[in-house]
Structure 1
Amino acid sequence: MRVIKQPILLILLTMSLMAVHQVSNGQNSESMSVSLEEAINYALENNQQVINARLEEEIADRQVGEILADGLPQVNLNADLTHNYKIPQTPVTSDFATGEPLEETLYIPFGADYTSQWGASFSQMVFDGSFFIGLEAAKTFTQLSKKDHIKTKIDIAEVVSKAYFGVLVNVERLALVERNYSRLDSLLQETQIMYENGFAEKIDVNRVKVQFNNVKVEKNNYQQIVDLSESLLKFQMGLKPNASIVLTDEIQSIGYFDFELANNFTYEQRIEYSQMNIRKELKQLDIKNVRAKYYPKIDLIANYGRNTGNTSLDGVFTDEWFGAGAIGLRASMPIFDGMRKRRQVQQRQLQAKQIDYSLNLLENNIDIEIEQALTTYNRQIEMMQAQRENMDLSQEVYEVAKIKYNEGVGSNIEVIDADATYKQAQINFYNALYDALISKIDLQKAYGILL
């Protein structure tokens, strides 16, 4: 979106952003004076997207602790109180004393009407290959969350920079329109006086008045554009819409791209490349994790408990309790799972190959992006310099036409045409200036040195 060339689109977009911002968590009404660097730093602390990315990073840190908890001792307590309203009967086919078979089977109820027990269990992981790989994967995922946080910061630095430049250019354009307004106001008064004294015709006055009315409307429109572009900047920074902001940087002080910063460029400077490498590492750990499930799992276990029973509920809490406990090792090992894990490993190996191809594609995309950004930047700088020269030349033409008209050797139409050409040259220059500033940001991002 071009702030200068599409004011209506800017107005619609900014109004939408402001509507969203009304319900967001912002700061109190305040007044700020900020340079571009200060605006970016403020946004990196207060923009909602950055805040969410920071929370995602903290969530990833907590997930490491969650996985680590599986390797720590697990202790559980349990207790129950049971009313056996129908006691199961056990068939008896031999005499308990002699062991001789009975003539007929007896069915004897075994159990108490009320039983109660409580106990504690303890387990400690001794070996589980997938646990250690999962812990390593969780730590690696935390690194990915940090990279995502950085990526969000870079994106915010980009949009804040472009919004900041948009305000600077629109302020300059407003000042330009105000100067045009003053110039045409003076020209209109002079032409009116010349008409009253018989040195100009009514049509000359009307021509100037048409130009004057047009620039008057333009002046009001650009004041609104400046206000809306400031609102867009405040939204990107995380400021409330009613906050007051003053930009301390001047557009003339914005320097050109520093090519020395790009001399030793490597793909690792691009955050997207780092993110892709971490995803590749996570996929390799995923493969190891599946393979680790072939290994046995060993746990140390222990438990202790007490139980009792009685024919009445009161007796459950007064009768003698009987204890029981055990300690040991528990091991489990998969033997055959229908080739499930083998197929899982194969899938993940193919996914790892996809990441390798994606890395190669990303390298090619980065090369093309840098080439395009560099070409665009050089072209926009040349265009800006050419439009600056055109603006200076058209100003000279206007001033000469104005002098000739005042001395009676030039025409009113010549002055109006020169004024229109001068204004168009001014518009072209500021369009080119804005495009040059934006191309500088794009080039910095392409080289990975924006933030």
Structure 2
Amino acid sequence: MNKKRFYKRLTAMILGGLLTVSAGSVSAANTVQLNLNDAVQMALENNRSIKTALANVDVAKWNLSKYRRQTGVTLSLSSAANHANDTLAAQHGYDNTYYTNSASASIPLYNFSLRSGIESAGYALNAADVTLENTKQSIRYQATADYYNILNYKNLIKVQEDAVRAYQEHLDNVNAQYRVGTVAKSDVLSSQVNLANAQQALTTAQNNYDIAIATLNNVIGLPTDTALEIDEELKHPAYNLNLNDCTNYALNNRADGAAAYYAVKQAEAGINTAKAGWYPTVTASANKAIEGKNAFHADHSNTWVFGATATWNIFDNGVTTANVNNAEASLVKAQEALKTQDETIQLDVRTALLNLQAAEKNISTTETAVTQAEEDLKIAHVRYSAGVGTNLDVMDATEKMTLARTNYNTALYKYNVSKAALDKAMGIPVDIDVAKYKASQMEGNRLKKVRDDAKVTANPVLELTPEAKKASKEEIKAMRQAEREVRNAADANKQAAAEKKTVTEKKTAVVSEPTKKTEQPASTAAVASEMAK
């Protein structure tokens, strides 16, 4: 099975929650068994920075296509329905209502600005290609360094566990001797303090390990709570490299150096673009027009014309000169950036190689120190048990043993990370060989040939895939649907609130309305009695 497809499926399964283990909790984290190659491949497949760089390549590709398309034929059609007064109708067959239709085609014969734009856009696409390669190299290094960081903290956990065990065993020994009265209470207290400090250091190492796991998950595109099972150990592979060879290789192969080179070429093309104001433009065109009482009829007129048009801006009050000076200054800026990049490359290589050499020396030194510290601790235990050594001797020997083991593992970790950093500083390729890419491009080959000449893997991903474009469109649809649902919910809430308010107002009006007394008609006897008074 294709490796890249495997990593795609693996990531999809994890994100879909198919690879799960029960760890005594309801929401157990996913668990993945991983090695260094898996981590790097998954990072190259899933990392967001690489996907962004792929999108930038597509942007540059279609920008170049836009310029190239402008050198071809353009065709336009137009139709109009008109209604005119009698005076104007006399010019159009005395029809107040008439129709006009026309078709025109044109092609640029000479356009210096367009030619320069094509050149600049081509270099921009080259820069996008090598920037993509640089991004992949950076992500490879980041994934590798994060992977080694996990192994480092895994080793440090073992060191701290051994330290806790040693302090606990010593505390048990001190307590036994204290109970029979051969040591003072201060020995017990100091041993307890050292044990507590070691337990705190172990907690810190375990927390750093968890953070390192989450960091690697983020780089390789997995949920940060994914548990990783890593069985590898930090190794000490030999190398046979010298500074001059590494530096020369880096100057020829660093992708960011190539990107700076193409920035200079773009700036050169920018000068030609600015000079376009001094040159004419020539365009060939053809036009056919018909007019009639009815649509698409030519009973009024039927004309055609073709020819060439030349335009030349004779005087622009120094605008073109200013643009040229601006472009020349931009070229100087790009040239200085290229020189700075070359100097940075040399510094990166020297720094990585020196760190690698220092770590290698520290490995042998600390390995010897570990052996000596372990022997010293054994002697301190024997002397303390025999009553001729002090508790402080044992504590000091245990601390030195822990420090020696920590230093050894740190030196081993720095050696591996420095080797990965040297690969990054030299520009060891991921998908394309930058030196071959530049050589093929300088030969004037088309982009596909340039990429084929430079690729170091069978099927490198150098542009956005159809699947990625489809996923982008589906994501936009989902976002718009979510926005519509939010708006609909808000409208429904407003309508419900308005209806509730209306009902409340009606109830209030009914309660506050005064009760009217019904007047009864007076009887005849009551009226006569009132009049008698």
TM-score (ref. length: structure 2)? 0.67
What is the rounded CA distance, in whole Å, between the counterparts of 2:68 and 2:297 in structure 1? 43
Alignment partner for residue 339 of structure 2, among 354, 360, 380?
A: 360
Give the structure 1 partner of residue 139 of structure 2. Answer: 156
The residue aligned with 2:487 is none
CA 1:378–1:120 in 2, change beyond 3 Å: closer, same or farther? same
Shift of 1:394: 1.7
CA distance in 1, matches of 2:371, 2:305: 93
Q: CA separation in 2, counterparts of 1:65 and 1:423?
A: 63
Residue 141 of structure 1 corresponds to 124
Contact 2:109 2:283 in 1 (8 A): yes
* Amino acid corresponding to residue 308 of structure 2 in structure 1: R
Residue 153 of structure 2 contacts residue 205 of structure 2 at CA under 8 Å; is this kept in 1? yes
Aligned-pair CA distance for 1:397: 0.8
Q: Does 1:118 align with 2:101?
A: yes
**Which of 249, 260, 269 is the equivalent residue of 1:276?**
260
Q: Could you tell me which residue of structure 2 aligns to residue 16 of structure 1?
A: none
CA 1:298/1:227 → structure 2, altered by over 3 Å: closer, same or farther?
A: same
- The question of whether the paired residues in 2 share the 8 Å contact of 1:28 and 1:240 is answered with no
Q: Is the 8 A contact 1:304 1:323 kept in 2?
A: no
Residue equivalent to 1:48: 48
Distance 1:246 1:304, change over 3 A: same
Distance 1:147 1:320, change over 3 A: closer
Distance in 1, Cα, partners of 2:196 & 2:34: 35
Once the 2 structures are TM-superposed, how far is the Cα of residue 191 of structure 1 from its aligned partner?
2.7
1:211 deviation in Å?
1.9
Question: How many Å separate the matches in 2 of 1:35 and 1:131?
Answer: 51
Q: Which has the higher strand share?
A: 1
Greater shift in the superposed pair: 39-48 or 437-446: 437-446
Say if 1:324 and 1:247 are closer, same or farther in 2 by CA, change over 3 A: farther
Q: Hey, what does 1:67 align to over in structure 2?
A: 67
Q: 1:254 to 1:55 in 2, by over 3 A?
A: farther
1:70, CA displacement in angstroms? Answer: 1.1
- Change over 3 Å in CA distance of 1:319–1:386 after alignment to 2: closer
- The Cα offsets for residues 343-364 of structure 1, whole Å up to 9 and x where unpaired, read as 3223323332333333333333
Partners in 2 of 1:39 and 1:156 — Cα distance? 11
- 1:290 corresponds to which of 262, 271, 274: 274
SS at match of 1:259: coil
Q: Distance in 1 between matches of 2:216 and 2:92?
A: 82
CA distance in 1, matches of 2:36, 2:296: 79
SS of structure 1 residue aligned to 2:222: coil
Name the structure 2 match of 1:346. Answer: 325
Checking the alignment, whether the CA contact within 8 Å between 2:247 and 2:349 is kept in structure 1 is no
> For each residue in 1:22-66, what CA deviation from the matched residue of structure 2 results, as whole angstroms up to 9, or x when unmatched?
xxxx94445433332331222111110011101111221122222
Aligned mate of 2:241, from 259, 266, 290:
259
What is the aligned length? 402
Q: Is the 8 A contact 2:127 2:262 kept in 1?
A: yes
Whether the aligned pair in 2 keeps the contact of 1:88 and 1:110 (CA below 8 Å) is: no
Amino acid in structure 1 at the alignment position of 2:77: L
SS in 2 for 1:79: strand
Equivalent residue number for residue 220 of structure 2: 237
User: 1:240, 1:413 → 2: CA distance?
Assistant: 47
Match of 1:397 among 361, 364, 376: 376
| Between structures 1 and 2, the one with greater helix share | 2
Percentage of identical aligned residues: 19
Alignment correspondent of 2:306:
328
Moved more, 170-179 or 317-326: 317-326
8 Å CA contact 2:92–2:98 kept in 1: the answer is no
Say if 1:155 and 1:266 are closer, same or farther in 2 by CA, change over 3 A: closer
In structure 1, stretches of 5+ residues that fail to align are 1-25, 91-107, 310-315
Deviation at 1:185, TM superposition (A): 2.3
Specify the alignment match of 1:10 in structure 2. Answer: none
**Partner residue in 1 for 2:290:** 306
Structure 1 distance, partners of 2:133, 2:303, is 54
AA aligned to 2:158 is A
Structure having greater relative contact order (Cα 8 Å, sep ≥ 6)? 1
Q: Tell me if the contact between 1:302 and 1:327 (Cα under 8 Å) persists in the aligned partners.
A: yes
Query: What whole-Å deviation, never above 9, does each CA across 1:365-384 have from its counterpart, x for those lacking one?
Result: 33344334333333343334
- 8 Å contact from structure 1 (residues 308, 322) kept in 2: yes
Match of 2:249, SS state, is coil
Partner residue of 2:316? 337
Q: Secondary structure at the match of 1:265?
A: helix
Aligned mates of 2:425, 2:330 — CA distance in 1: 27
Aligned pair in 2 of structure 1 residues 80, 333: CA closer, same or farther (>3 Å)? closer
Is 1:429 aligned to 2:408, yes or no? yes
Q: Tell me how large the CA RMSD over aligned residues is.
A: 3.1
* CA displacement at 1:146 relative to structure 2: 0.5
Match 2:115 to one of 132, 142, 164 = 132
> Aligned with 1:449: secondary structure?
coil
1:99-130 CA-partner distances (Å, limit 9, x unpaired):
xxxxxxxxx99975434322222222333333
**Can you list the C-alpha shifts for 1:208-248, whole angstroms capped at 9, x where unaligned?**
22222222233233222111111011112222213232234
Please state whether the residue corresponding to 1:226 is helix, strand or coil: helix
